[in-house]
Amino acid sequence: MSSHDQKIMFVFPGQGSQYVGMGGDLIRDFPTARRLYEHANDIVGYDLLKLGLEGPEEDLKLTRHTQPALLTHSLICFELFRELTDNRVQPVLTAGHSLGEYCALVAAGALDFETALRLVQKRGECMGTYGQGEMLAFPLHLDNVRPLAEKHCCAVAACNLPDQTVVGGRGEDLDRLTEEAHAHFPRKRPTRLKTEGAFHTFYMIAAALHYRPVLDAAPMTAPTVRVLSNYTGTHHEPEPAAIKTRLFFQLFHPVNWIGNLDTAFHDEITAIVEFGGGLGSGPAPEDKRPNLESMIKKAQRGSDFSIHYHAAINTQTLRETAEALQA
């Protein structure tokens, strides 16, 4: 089915999708990728490409490095896809998980590459410097987790699926929460996330306040296609001031990803393309799988419609998806 017959959404993953070796295939196969990486290096003031290719992993995992590295990789994948399709495959909707929302705004024409990269560099620095706490992912519904979390001074950080809720808080508070949750739901064990803080909770308020002046000053225009807001779960309003307000609140409020997906399903999306990053134990880019695919497919279960999912996260998947959507 060609892109002309479909309503396509472009999606972009968030922190946790980065890996050492990211971008190696792209610079080997596409001159545009090397040019954009060199431009990114000039913007951030260090060798972002080398960090992504060689690590060390401990440095790449630092929030101040992860966010610019992943945004750059995701947007290079997006730009290469446009190149491979002569920009003929257009979305009707864009969305991103946490950090990925900035990529979604670039794809929708609201931000340019340089502005987005400078923003997430500052965002990552503020989150790493001023943020506190840790995070746990519970395989439980929001209604089961939130009362227990609040009892122990923790907060919901993300609603990814009906049965997947992320919580943030101090380590000792999360330990007490885990103990009580186990008593209520003994078969539902949480997973500790490797983050530098309790992202998207009140532990990020100081980071958000330091970040806001840079966000307020950033040039932004009205998007040319609709973009989903993590803060509301629905479409962004077109006014740049309103978008910036929601990006500010996004830092210390839960990512309403399930709300984003519900909105996309209501918009009758028929195809999704995911750009950048990757998950999987294999070291090479071609060993990776898209980060958001499993969540989106789980959210779709039980529905009476189907969505075609495409990855655009490495050379192989970029070429396959470009060909499939132009057939």
Q: Which domains does the chain have, with CATH numbers?
A: 3-130+201-324 (3.40.366.10), 134-193 (3.30.70.250)
Distance from C-alpha of 73 to C-alpha of 81, rounded to nearest angstrom: 12
- Contact yes or no for 260/95 (Cβ under 8 A): yes
From the centroid of its chain, how far is CA 306? 23
**How far is residue 66's CA from residue 225's CA, in Å, rounded to a whole number?**
27
Question: Collapsing DSSP states into helix, strand and coil, what is residue 312?
Answer: strand
Residues designated catalytic:
98, 200
Helix/strand/coil percent split, the chain, to 5: 50, 15, 35
User: What does the pLDDT profile of the chain (327 residues) look like in tens digits?
Assistant: 555 679 999 999 999 999 999 999 999 999 999 999 999 999 999 999 999 999 999 999 999 999 999 999 999 999 999 999 999 999 999 999 999 999 999 999 999 999 999 999 999 999 999 999 999 999 999 999 999 999 999 999 999 999 999 999 999 999 999 999 999 999 999 999 989 999 999 999 999 999 999 999 999 999 999 999 999 999 999 999 999 999 999 999 999 999 999 999 999 999 999 999 999 999 999 999 999 999 999 998 877 778 999 999 999 999 999 999 997
Query: What pLDDT is recorded for position 107?
Result: 98
The predicted structure's pLDDT at residue 302: 76
C-alpha–C-alpha distance, residues 211 and 125, integer Å: 9
Return the ∠ at Cα 143 (arms to 139 and 148), rounded to 5°. Answer: 80
Helices 257-266 and 293-300: angle between axes, nearest 10 degrees:
60
pTM here?
0.97
| Residue 119 · residue 102 · CB < 8 Å | yes
Tokens 């596409």 map to which residue? 30
